[in-house]
Amino acid sequence: MTADRLNDLGQPIGEPLPGWVPPPFPPRESIVGRFCRLEPLDVGRHAESLFAAYSLDIESRNRTYLPYGPFKTLADFRDWIGTSCSGDDPFFLAIVDPTSALALGVTSFCRIDPDSGSIEVGHIHYSEPLKRSPIATEAMFLMMSKAFELGYRRYEWKCDALNASSRAAAQRLGFSHEGVFRQAKVYKGHSRDTAWYSITDAEWPALQKAFLTWLDPDNFDSNGGQRSHLSELTSPLLRQAD
């Protein structure tokens, strides 16, 4: 943070944004990549395959840090999608494997603030088949790309500060840690400290290049193994909190 811009009173002020125009909300349309397709979450198209994929997590470990679920029946899950996932914020998306045409996970754009140019990725829930797959990584890349393409200046990731896997994932994906908000929420009868991460539009070109390098077909061997790890490409780009 610099203080080299002063107003007429000699007070430090932020960088000017001439011609700034608030970006639009993300359009309700599919986003297509090489490994996956993101589709607006729909009960009829996605509920059954999602419920089946999530049911492989027998102990519901993947729902510990989500404020809802687990859902005991498909009917309960369908009801939740119908009542909670049809709005513009959060805007829920199903992560679809184009090979099988099955939905294997959910994500969303949320806390959408066009006036500030800020948008968050949240409600991320990967099924067991989706974890540690190119689909999982590309889904996050596609959402980042859409956000910055629309003109957002800040892309956020927030999670329970005790959720070690989510915190590691954020930094692998190029989100810089900004700090922890203490006692920020109460969910499922527990207190939550929230860890904050972000990517800014100034950081995006270098991160985009890192993702494109990782997603390049030449980065994968004949067995699908990665030659370069994404964390190796993104870690030099992370910023330290002020």
Q: What is the DSSP string of 84-98?
A: HSSSSSSEEEEEEET
pLDDT digits (tens, 9 = 90+) for 124-150: 999 999 998 999 999 999 999 999 999
State yes or no: cis peptide before 16, omega within 30 of 0: no
User: pLDDT value at position 146?
Assistant: 98
Q: What is the residue type of 56? A: L
Cα–Cα dist 230/225, whole Å: 12
Encoding tokens for residue 157?
A: 């990731």
Separation in Å, CA 29 to CA 25, 54, 92: 12, 24, 11
Separation in Å, CA 14 to CA 1, 3, 11, 195, 197: 9, 8, 10, 25, 21
Q: What is the residue type of 229? A: H
Residues of 42-63 as b/e, b for ≥16 C-beta within 10 angstroms? ebeebbebbbebbeebeeeebb
Separation in Å, CA 88 to CA 44, 113, 192, 241: 19, 12, 26, 31
pLDDT digits (tens, 9 = 90+) for 57-80: 999 999 999 999 999 999 999 999
- Could you tell me which residue, 209 or 221, shows the higher pLDDT? 209
